[in-house]
Amino acid sequence: MPYVNIKITREGATSEQKAALIKGVTDLLVTVLDKNPATTFVVIDEVAFEDWGVGGLPVEEYRKQLKAKS
């Protein structure tokens, strides 16, 4: 009975893409660990840009700096 939580930045993932993540992760747990899909939960969290930091910066700022450097 696995529980999987996927956090991604909010940038337009569609319902179809989310359904693909749910199916893909569940299939993976069935294949690798023989888990029962009926008791496999997947919860997706979309996180606003200003709420996600990397490199000490909010993610949008971070991407700008990466681009400027390249």
Residues marked as catalytic: 2
Tell me if 3 contacts its own copies by CB under 8 A: yes
Non-local (6+) Cβ contacts of 50 within 8 A are 58, 60
Does 47 bind its own copies (CB under 8 A)? Our answer is yes
- In 3D, which of 18, 11, 30, 16 has the Cα closest to residue 2? 30
Q: Which tokens is 27 given?
A: 């299939």
Q: Which string of x and - marks every residue 12-31 that binds its own copies (by CB under 8 A)?
A: -x-x-xxxxxxxxxxxxx-x
Among 33, 67, 68, 69, contact with its own copies (rule: CB under 8 A): 33
- Is residue 64 at the binding interface for its own copies, with CB under 8 A as the rule? no
